[in-house]
Chain A
Amino acid sequence: MIQFSDEKLKEVQRIIGFYPEGKQKSAVLPVLHLAQQEFGGWLSVATMDYVASLLQIEPIEVYEVATFFSMYNLKPVGKYMFEVCQTGPCMLNGSDNIIKYIGEKLGIKPGETSADGLFTLKTVECMAACGYAPMMQLGKHYREHLTKEKVDAIIDECRKNAELNN
């Protein structure tokens, strides 16, 4: 059963309050972010339908948006998603090698999830971190000035966190 906690429902109401009465459709992006975060890191059809019901809009209005924006995952992803930038300025600073290294280290290609379900590697386009390249987004934050050593440390950190949370 897909259902936000009371606390998250309050957050949904707070977001809807940003917009004039009757314009609650505007809340679809922020509420989809919240839903993706709460329901396993991706948006199933059931999750999208739930968001539609909360905002009193048609499910198709949610699908239209969810399929347009690249931050929404429409299939399951690993617990830790490495979103590595590959656009020009990062490329000039070696992002191709970083992406290759992460792929080899985790045994996956961009777009794939590791067999243990822990890691997804995703290549993304410019994240506005060009001066701190190469970089990736991991959860809420950016990891910048990536090197092979930093990648090793980040993977270790994720593995440790996963063990702690089990």
Chain B
Amino acid sequence: MGSKLLLDKVHIENIRSYDVYRREGGYRSVEKAIRSMNPVAVMEEVKKSGLRGRGGAGFPTGMKWSFLAKPEGVPRYLVCNADESEPGTFKDRYLMEFIPHLLIEGLIVSSYAIGSNRTYIYIRGEFKWIIDILEQAITEAKNNGWLGKNILGSGFDCEIYVHSGAGAYICGEETALLESLEGKRGNPRIKPPFPAVRGLWDCPTVVNNVETIAAVVPIINDGGDNYAKIGTGKSTGTKLISSCGNIKKPGVYEIEMSISVEEFIYSDEYCGGIANGRRLKACIPGGSSVPILPANLLLKTAKGDSRMMTYESLADGGFQSGSMMGSGGFIVLDEDQCVVRHTYTLARFYRHESCGQCSPCREGTGWMEKILLNIENGKGKMSDIDLLWDIQRKIEGNTICPLGDAAAWPVAAAIRHFRDEFEWHITNPDDAQRRNYGLANYAEPLKVVAV
């Protein structure tokens, strides 16, 4: 059983309420930070912890905070990104729904470090019931003196507000989120300037994911050095993994970043193996945007090492034979699943979510969706596979924000690793309507196919 830092208390009855949360040691990190540390010391502790952004990009949090511009007389803002929308990802929802005070506590400490007197939680609009849960937690925190004016007699003021989005994946991108928070369409901004210099209402702003902010609590309570002792290499601490697809026990698991992918999938402590006695075919380990891997490359790297649940190991081999930790949205496909159909649903998702600002993404995502649907429906041509490859290449890196890359990568990886399944759909259109391609040789010992 690995250590749990975020979800260790989630099963305590009524932990959602302030009284129980406080009785279980809640808000100690606020006391410690505000009474005995200055903001710089809090930031240093987060730097020491090695905490990396848990939203998907994995950028070191302490470093992100240290980039914040501090001009005199200009407010600074902390914005919590709770727009969780990456397919496969539902960890932030779990945390906010079941232990909301952990997020509020983390936000107060982080606001103190950054100097934000007005902090926002930008939450996806569909989480309507969670907005109520968070507002209740904020009210309780305020009634008990953790928010408002002159917190703990320190002179530090802070308010937290919950701002509802309205159904747009793109608002998980930090500059689109800020546009939306200003009441505009969620069109990403050109960077630089980065939000740390010009963010919300042109003021210096830090945007952090829910899980990142929650991790600040154990870092302050136990010290950054102790946090950094958990995990492996540059993957310090614990990570929430939301696992779904064809596994026995879908759900949110907090793992130490030192276990293997195989243990995560097959151990009863986590996913419990593949559902319905089927075999593992493929997996997208970090949310729909990251490359899909066939079973053989998922469990072992191209070098033959066990693949681990760490930022480094999941990325081992680059996009030729590896993937990414991403947001921790772990999507498992069993032998009965069709990679073409699955990739089509993802292409449709990205077409729907493209904001339309950049032509390669606006047009390319639609083309990829249509071509994939044709192949899936038995109307594909062999040249379509190369056409798809060509389109995704022309989207990647040619857009203002990473949505273009996020749309290109799943298509690229599906073709890279499952080209024979695409070809089979095209050469056997009737069969492809009746049955799935099956496991093929993806679970066989390693065979790296390079495109």
Q: Which residues in A have some Cβ–Cβ distance to B below 8 Å?
A: 18-20, 23, 25-30, 32-33, 55, 57, 61, 64-65, 68-72, 86-89, 91-93, 124-133, 137, 140-141
Contacts and interface: CB of A to CB of B under 8 A. Distances in A.
Interface string B144-184: 00000000000000000101111111000000000011111
Contact of B342 (A18, A23, A91, A126): A91
Interface residues of B, number: 57
Interface in B169-205: 169, 180-186, 201
B166 A29 contact: yes
Contacts of A133: 244, 250
A130 B90 contact: yes
A131 B342 contact: no
A86 B168 contact: no
B346 interface: yes
Nearest to A62: B183
A23 B244 contact: no
Nearest to A89: B244
A89 B164 contact: no
B164 A30 contact: yes
Given A92-B245, A92-B342, A137-B126, 6 more contacts: A29-B164, A86-B348, A128-B90, A131-B243, A131-B250, A131-B252
A132 B250 contact: yes
Nearest to A36: B166
A36 B126 CA distance: 14
Contacts, number: 148
B201 A125 contact: no
B87 A18 contact: no
A51 B342 CA distance: 40
Contacts of B256: none
A26 B182 contact: yes
8 contacts: A29-B163, A33-B166, A57-B183, A65-B185, A69-B125, A70-B168, A93-B245, A128-B84
Interface string B73-86: 00100000000111
Contacts of A28: 183
A26 B245 contact: no
B185 A88 contact: no
B353 interface: yes
User: Helix, strand, loop or mixed for chain B's interface?
Assistant: mixed
Contacts of A132: 90, 250
B11 interface: no
Contacts of A127: 126
A87 B345 contact: yes
B235 interface: no
A32 B167 CA distance: 13
B237 interface: no
Contacts of B163: 18, 26, 29-30
A20 B75 CA distance: 11
- The CB with the most chain B CB atoms within 10 A, among A57, A87, A92, is that of A92
B243 A126 contact: no
Contact of B88 (A32, A68, A130): A130
Nearest to B75: A20
B161 A18 contact: yes
B125 A87 contact: no
A46 B125 CA distance: 23
Nearest to A141: B129
B183 A26 contact: yes
B10 to A, nearest CB: 15
B354 to A, nearest CB: 12
B88 A25 contact: no
Contact of B87 (A30, A57, A87): A87
B166 A131 contact: no
B48 interface: no
B337 interface: yes
Contacts of B86: 126
Interface string B342-361: 10011011001101000000
Contact of A125 (B89, B183, B251, B352): B352
A86 B341 CA distance: 12
B288 interface: yes
B333 interface: yes
B126 A69 contact: no
Nearest to A34: B164
3 cross-chain pairs, A with B, having the tightest CB-CB distances, nearest first: A69-B166, A131-B250, A25-B183
Contact of A68 (B185, B250, B333): B185
Contacts of B251: 131
